[in-house]
Amino acid sequence: MTTTINASTVSGLVNTADTSGILQLQTASTAALTIDGSQQVGVGTASPASLLHVAGNIRTSSGANYAQFANNFLRSNASGSFFYDNATVGQSNEFRTSVSSSLDTTALTLTASGILALRNAGTSATGIGITFPATQSASSDANTLDDYEEGTWTPSVGGTATYSGQVGQYLKIGKFVFASFDLTINLIGTGSKSSITGLPFTAGSSSNTQAGTVAYWSDFAISTTSFYIRVDSGGTTITTASTTTTQITVTNTPNVLGNGTRLIATAIYTSNA
């Protein structure tokens, strides 16, 4: 037998006479819909913990659906694409993960301008791109890219040398470092005649000696037919080698740098982290 509850007034069915208890609909002797004394609605649960608590799946099945959270939407369109729309102007989307039972931490931030910032990375960069933390969190995994940084450094031969040009740029991608420089020595003084210091990162202590490329030199202190630079393991110094004639083995640390020497080169090496 089917029983229908009809509203007794034009306002419809508006309350239950039991003001301290619950209003519950059951099917097959199981609670299907429960409204508790705090007006919390449970679907599939007799103990709702939120204003709407669904103990099970939620499905919307028309071509384009959305769920709205204030100004933000979870949305699908008729062709099946799925969107998270942040409709608050200038606001970022943060993806949080739990690193302990009581703390959620932002793992990823997508800013309104299109910057994807990894955990602890700044979100104020201009342009569009991926931002790594300003202080590297090194990964020991061979397949994880954990750092990107670009900047400047100052090549030096130390001692009392003076310079008329002394600039360097570096780019670090993961462990890989490109450190280019353009060095013009005015007076060599007590500076080194064969090595350049100041590299922005230490070469890996377990790496081999690594090479660089030389683009230009002028006014070496000795006639030179070929010239090479390298970075030894664990160091922040560029060491030189050269030949002055046909040689079986290059001359190591030749005294080529002197007054007026200009050298343009790039050290390419892997760092410790």
Partner 1 sequence: MALTETKIIDQITVTENGTVLYREATRILKDGEQIAQTYHRSSLTPAQDLTGQPANVVAICNAAWTDEVVAAYQAQVAASQIGTSA
In the list 71, 152, 162, 226, the residue contacting partner 1 (rule: CB under 8 A) is 152
Quickly list DSSP for 128-159.
Answer: SEEE--SS------TT----EEEEEE--B--T
CB atoms within 10 A of CB 117: 22
Beta carbon nearer to partner 1, 65 or 136 = 136
Contacts of 123 (CB under 8 A, 6+ apart): 92, 109, 111, 115, 117, 131
Pick from 42, 157, 161, 198 the residue near partner 1 by CB under 8 A.
198
Nearer to partner 1, 34 or 193 (CB): 193
When asked if residue 150 is in the footprint of partner 1 (CB under 8 A), the reply is yes
Q: Looking at the DSSP assignment, which residues form a beta bridge with residue 70?
A: none
Residue 134 sits in the site that holds partner 1 (CB under 8 A): yes
- The region of 22-30, 70-78, 88-96, 192-200 touching partner 1 under the rule CB under 8 A is 192-200
Is there binding between residue 89 and partner 1 (CB under 8 A)? Answer: no
- Token pair belonging to 213: 């490329």
Q: Which of residues 249-268 bind partner 1 (CB under 8 A)?
A: 249-255
Q: Please state, in angstroms and rounded to a whole number, the distance separating the CA atoms of residues 196 and 257.
A: 10
Instruction: Determine, following the binding rule CB under 8 A, whether residue 153 of this chain makes contact with partner 1.
Output: yes
Q: Does 114 bind partner 1 (CB under 8 A)?
A: no
Under 8 Å between Cβ of 131 and 116: yes
Q: Binding residues for partner 1, per CB under 8 A?
A: 122, 124, 126, 134-135, 149-154, 158-159, 170, 194, 197-202, 205, 209, 232-237, 239, 241, 249-255, 272
